[in-house]
Structure 1
């Protein structure tokens, strides 16, 4: 594997932990998370069910406040959600009564950009997700894969510094999932996005991540970090797909062993 040329630091997380409180004793969901996210990273997070992957994503999104530790973005403490961290959810969170284009224009409109800019931004990302000819369709007319492409474009249209992906491909059929993975790879390469994605799929993590983080069982912490270049090789290949070679298979087995431990 090649050494990764790291960009500027966007996010710094140190000794971060989250406790959930209820009627009984507090439950520690994650603890001692130390993570630096650089510009241009594509981070994929794996771990056993209940290890706190979604909790970590919610903290980074600003939906949840950590119980302990620090979380800085561009050197400043994060106090809540904002457009600099856009989230693509597992279920496409779209406005079903709006057209595809109007869903994508929503964020730029909320930022009060000029109408000409809003139109240009929406057109640009409609083209990137191959939905320009469907721009006038309403959401309920679309397939699951098309809805996720709209959700992806809507987050991209806000041009966040970090795009967070909460298992966005988990509900798709196998073929659509592979097609979406290729689309996400191409967009990441073209736009130089910074992406933080959680997934249960080891192959997905290996085929998309420049860095793969493996978390322990609850309370979750990061027990392994891998720097990878399969995504770069896939983008540069004739087919646009990841080559399944001996190195890939060894890494997959090693990750599965860690998750099963």
Structure 2
């Protein structure tokens, strides 16, 4: 098991002070030889990428995407525009890599960032693929992102129930990815900043093994982000660990007036 630690940062913006705490972990799982997931958890951007394609093609795709997004964070200007420019560069990286030329090579990219550029601070989720962002607010868990997958399209059209989808043979087939043959414009959802919110960003290696309510249970049992990440990772491995597993837990603590 990886060692998981909680990091924190205090952010003063728009007359309020926010304390953000987060932890992340990634694990190969019990059945895969290579971890094709990659993770970025550096304020203000928290992202999971789940690669696919060949033995190492997916690892190249996810790593290239996270590295390009890391550069955006380092430049200090995270926005939909800078994210999309970074993803376009990642597509070129993937396409030019000699070991990532398979048409099926690509990666999901899913996450959340704190946007302080407007009149008030807001969270913005981004998504391409079937990794997910969950929000726990007022005791309820909600999946904020919508999967780009064959199964989700069947559910949306009424041809498949959520229960039937759990073991569908096309459960791993996604309809959008960051890769040579796909566009790089994520779906975005903007959310208010609310005291007490908890975000979970994860690859489908977690959601294959834990239900939404299972995720909520471990969050409720573990107030510390690192403890919550470790508990969910351990449970996912015990339930089979059929895929690579990557988890970020991000807590929003307090929204008090900032000191002058």
Q: TM-score, normalised by structure 1?
A: 0.28
Greater radius of gyration (CA): 1
Q: TM-score, normalised by structure 2?
A: 0.28
Q: Which has the higher strand share?
A: 2
